[in-house]
Structure 1
Amino acid sequence: MSGSSPRPSYAALFHIPHASRTFAAALTGRLSYGLVSLAMMLTTTHATGSLAAAGTVMALFGAASMFLSPARAALIDRHGARHTLIPMSSLYAGLLTAFAVTAWRPGAPALAIGALAVAAGACTPPLGPTMRTVWSRLVPNEALLRRAYSLDGVLEEILFVSGPLIVGAVVQGAPPAAAVALSALLVWSGTLAFVMSPPVADIRPATVKTARTGRRWQGGRALARPVVVALGVGLSLGAVDLLVVAFAEQHHHRAATAAWVLAALSLGSALGGLLNGAADGRLSPGARLPLTAGGLGLALLAAAFAPSLGTLTVAVACAGFFVAPALTTSYLVADATAPAGFRTQAGAWVNTAVNAGSSGGAAAVGLLLGRLSLGWCFAISGAASLTAALVTLRTAPTAPRGPGRSCCRTMPTPASS
């Protein structure tokens, strides 16, 4: 296999049997998530004429999707991917379609729209965590797995950048609800193609023995380190979005200018993710975990002293350089510490921590703005990631333990597979 070289390239991932087909299908389904938030918000505003109603609906949808993510991932580990994802995606797509039909024209009742949004959020298929589980099964060594997770994270970020652009194109000639319907079609068709691929069929229900091991694992601290880092990164990122807008307004720039600063954040993250995946791996994921979180925190502390928008853009781009590596490493450590049959749940906990942190960071900085200077707000956002880095340093295991794959040393590269 191509992954047998000491430093395999990203291209080696697509020499693995079925990897290209499976990954393309997962990305198709995950593109739905790049569309759905903006599409639902515009649809609710169009149907009710109320931005407040749209905000409430989106908060309910996001909360249901976020906090039930580990439970949905547990169903996949317990019953197998095919038996779980097909009904889950069908129900989710059906509820999104019902949402689109109900809110197609103005005058739709906000209560019905909200109920459908909550129900849809509760059924969101965890395609990202499941794809990472597939990668951990397909890829035989840590060096290539790091490339797989890095590429996965970078392309996911591109999906979330391109999704709103697609929504904008759709609403030029159709009601916003058409974009919700498109999101439903993407997630259903992508998930169906995904579960039909042979690697996904291999994600089978956990055995009784594995379930007992999983209960012991869930009671330990192995998963705490990647979840804490993901939470810290989410808190920082949730704060940065609003802080950049506030900085642009304070320095008499148009609010739209903030989009360029946030684009620099995404560009820095993509570059950092690709370079992290291509690194030689001398540091284990466990050792990289606090370093990447700490780098993000220090860059945001530097942003606190930015005198102009140009300087802020550079500081934010430097912060972005650590985002994808921090999250990729969190997923790697979670996967390495989870026993077989529980890796989807491990990835879902990391994913939930990022999203919860992002929501909490945005809410917290919204309360702090006007009470503290922007410099202090940027410093506090950086402190969230720095605190996460310090916590992971203090809780670092002294030796590999637990039933999962070791994350504390580089795995040897096999000669063949």
Structure 2
Amino acid sequence: MSHNVSFADYRAALTTPGAGGPMIAAVFARLPIAMVGFAMLFYVQRATGSYAVAGLVSAGALIGSSIGSVLQGRVMDRLGPSRPLLVASTAFTVFVAIAIMGVEAGMSAPALVGFAFAVGLTQPTVGSASRTLWSRLLPAGRTRQAAYNYDAISIEVFFILGPGLAGLLSALPWAGTGVLVSALSQAAGAITFALTKTVRAQRPLVQTGTSLLGPLVSPGMRTVILAVMGFGVVIGFVEVAVPAAATAAGQQAMGGVMLSVWSISSVIFGVIYGMRPWPRPMHLRLPVLLAGFAILVTFSAIPSSLLWLAVTLLIAGMMITPQSTSHSTALEQVAPPSTMTEAFGWVITAVTFGLALGQSASGYLVEHVSVSSAFIAAAVAGLIFAGLVFVFRGTIAAGVPSRKADHALAS
């Protein structure tokens, strides 16, 4: 069910006893989410001189992250989040160091992609653990919905700051500065999050049923993942096309700053949208929002100035946070409660896999066709995914009664 939330609901969620420590630690762990990928993209591009190679390396990290988020989520559902996050953070730090040494040594593209994959695989998934923590701390209703909205909005704030910081740090004499700073912040934040009293006290729910598919055993869950993947594909195309457009205009340093533009409208509109979400039924909301996002991106394909591109990104950005919050809310309907961390992990997997697909294809189009073709391809891909979600929309609506049955089993 969808809930209208007010500012009082946000206040109640954020002042919930036990939420403060993990929430602050999560800021340092999740701010680099928007930095690591961009910093790696800029770093490798400057080191190799190729957007195509940089796009492949970035895609390797995203694919690794898409696998790692599910694996870590499944382990956290069974052991609790603390120990898995500590192990992942340690391994992540080691692999980042190896990846940096590989770039500095001028290793081949396949080797760099392999290192990036290992970095993504071990990237600590604080996002999944944080969202699951809200479902433990707060009862279902407006306050929990406000917490999910806060999570999505905070991510967009990080996307406002992250790309710009990555661009500025990567413009320093050593281009790997952005990768190093973002990785250290993420590891430190994840370790602090894992060691907070609230997170250490979190115990796994009794597993009411096991399957190799985990939460994907639910047809509605698979449809939500399809919507999330389409969302990621569109963003992936744009994330490569925008820096390429800035470079073509002779202002390479503006690439990351330009990508921060659409997060501004995302945050503002996300707060407004949470007060009165539309469409109300979730099974209609997901395809409508994705289709609207794809259509708005097409305006960025019109060749013009960077100012025009910024305006079109500002408009398209209004659809980002509404989709992110809807994805989290939809899981309440379709995912078994004992698999919620893994379910959120699948959301991360789907969006990062979509990003990888979009970035890889966009890198090729930018280098061999044109920047405009990447924006057009983004829109077409988004509309295709929206159409598929609409076809399977009934599985989301049907997920509500099964969700109630799972709650009854878990209690």
Name the TM tier (shorter chain).
0.7 to 0.9
1:94 aligned partner: 94
Cα separation, 2, equivalents of 1:173 and 1:378: 29
Is residue 300–residue 319 contact of structure 1 (8 Å, CA) maintained in 2? Answer: yes
Q: What does 1:140-179 align with in structure 2 at a 5 Å threshold? A: 140-166=139-165, 175=174, 179=178
Q: Structure 1 pair 161/264, CA: closer, same or farther in 2 (3 Å)?
A: closer
Say whether residues 1:233 and 2:259 are aligned partners. no
Aligned 8 A contact 1:335 1:404 in 2: yes
Question: Structure 1 unaligned runs (5+)?
Answer: 407-417
Question: Structure 2: any 5+ residue segments left out of the alignment?
Answer: 406-411
CA–CA separation in structure 1 for the residues paired with 2:38 and 2:111: 19
1:329 matched to 2:326: yes
Q: Alignment length, in residue pairs?
A: 398
Select the structure of larger CA radius of gyration. 1
Which string of whole-angstrom CA distances, capped at 9 and with x for unpartnered residues, describes residues 192-250 of structure 1?
221233442354335343436x8585333111222121122222222234445666788
Q: Name the CA distance, whole Å, in 1 between partners of 2:239 and 2:5.
A: 41
The CA distance in 2 between the partners of 1:341 and 1:390, in whole Å, is 31
Equivalent position SS for 2:90: helix
2:80 aligned with 1:80: yes
Q: Is the 8 A contact 1:264 1:316 kept in 2?
A: yes
Aligned to 1:361: 358
* SS in structure 2 at match of 1:158: helix
Query: What is the correspondence of 1:38-117 to structure 2 with a 5 Å cutoff?
Result: 38-40=38-40, 49-51=47-49, 57-97=57-97, 99=99, 102=101, 107=105, 116-117=115-116
> How far did 1:81 drift?
0.9
Measure the CA separation in 1 of the matches of 2:57 and 2:279.
46
Secondary structure of the structure 2 residue equivalent to 1:29: helix
Would the aligned equivalents of 2:225 and 2:350 in 1 still touch at CA under 8 Å?
yes
User: 1:309-324 residue pairs with structure 2 within 5 A?
Assistant: 310=307, 312-324=309-321
Greater helix content: 2
TM-score (norm 2): 0.79
CA distance in 1, matches of 2:242, 2:124: 32
- The answer to whether the 8 A contact 1:338-1:405 is kept is no
Equivalent-residue separation in structure 1 for 2:275 and 2:390 (angstroms)? 24
| Structure 2 CA distance for partners of 1:211 and 1:198, relative to 1, 3 Å | farther
Is 1:191 aligned to 2:190, yes or no?
A: yes
Further displaced range: 370-379 or 342-351: 370-379
> How far has the Cα of 1:322 moved from its partner?
0.8
Name 2:134's counterpart in structure 1: 135
Contact 1:81 1:200 in 2 (8 A): yes
CA RMSD of aligned residues (A): 4.0
Q: 3-state SS of the aligned residue for 2:31?
A: helix
Give yes or no for contact 1:335–1:347 (8 Å, CA) kept in 2. Answer: no
Q: Report the equivalent of 1:271.
A: 268
Alpha-carbon displacement from aligned partner over 1:320-342 (angstroms, at most 9, x marks no partner): 10111112201221243211221
The amino acid of 2:157's aligned partner reads I
Query: For residue 222 of structure 2, what is the amino acid of its counterpart?
Result: A
SS of the residue corresponding to residue 325 of structure 2 reads helix
Question: In structure 2, do the counterparts of structure 1 residues 14 and 6 end up closer, same or farther at CA, with 3 Å as the change threshold?
Answer: closer
Q: Distance in 2 between matches of 1:401 and 1:159?
A: 32
Residues 159, 244 of structure 1: alpha-carbon distance in 2 compared, 3 angstrom cutoff: closer
Is the Cα–Cα contact under 8 Å of residues 25 and 192 in structure 2 kept in the other structure?
yes
Q: What amino acid is aligned across from residue 189 of structure 2 in structure 1?
A: G
Q: Which position in structure 2 is the counterpart of 1:20?
A: 20
Matching residue of 1:411 = none
Percent identity over the alignment? 25
Aligned mates of 1:54, 1:270 — CA distance in 2: 29
User: Once the two structures are superposed, what CA deviation does each residue of 1:132-171 show, in whole Å capped at 9, x if it has no partner?
Assistant: 1112222323333332222222222332443455456667
1:25 to partner: Cα distance = 0.8
2:318 pairs with 1:348: no
Bigger shift: 118-127 or 297-306? 297-306
Q: Is the 8 A contact 1:93 1:187 kept in 2?
A: no
Equivalent residue number for residue 122 of structure 2: 123
| Secondary structure of the corresponding residue to residue 211 of structure 1 | coil
Aligned twin of 1:218: 216
- Answer yes or no: is 1:10 the counterpart of 2:7: no
Q: Which moved more, 1:55-64 or 1:351-360?
A: 55-64
Contact 1:94 1:184 in 2 (8 A): no
Which residue in 2 is equivalent to 1:339? 336
**8 Å contact kept, 2:205–2:338:** yes
Q: What is the distance in 2 between the residues matched to 1:4 and 1:242?
A: 35
2:287: which partner in 1?
Answer: 290
TM-score (norm. length: structure 1): 0.78
> Structure 1 residue 319: deviation in Å?
1.5
State whether residues 216 and 222 of structure 2, in contact with CA within 8 Å, keep that contact through their aligned partners in structure 1.
no
Paired with 2:353 and 2:301, the residues of 1 have a C-alpha distance of 24
Change (3 A) 1:317 1:306: farther
Determine the C-alpha separation between the residues in 1 that align with 2:294 and 2:63: 26
Cross-structure match for 1:413: none
Structure 2 letter corresponding to 1:219: V
**Aligned to 1:209, what secondary structure does the other structure show?**
coil
Contact 1:43 1:103 in 2 (8 A): no
**Separation (CA, whole Å) in 1 of partners of 2:300 and 2:179:** 37
> How far apart, CA to CA, are the structure 2 residues paired with 1:38 and 1:280?
31
AA aligned opposite 1:239? F
SS of equivalent residue, structure 1 residue 193: helix
Instruction: Measure how far apart 1:356 and its partner are.
Output: 1.9
* Structure 2 CA distance for partners of 1:166 and 1:245, relative to 1, 3 Å: closer
In 2, Cα distance between equivalents of 1:279 and 1:367:
40
Query: Partner residue of 2:408?
Result: none
Deviation at 1:312, TM superposition (A): 4.8
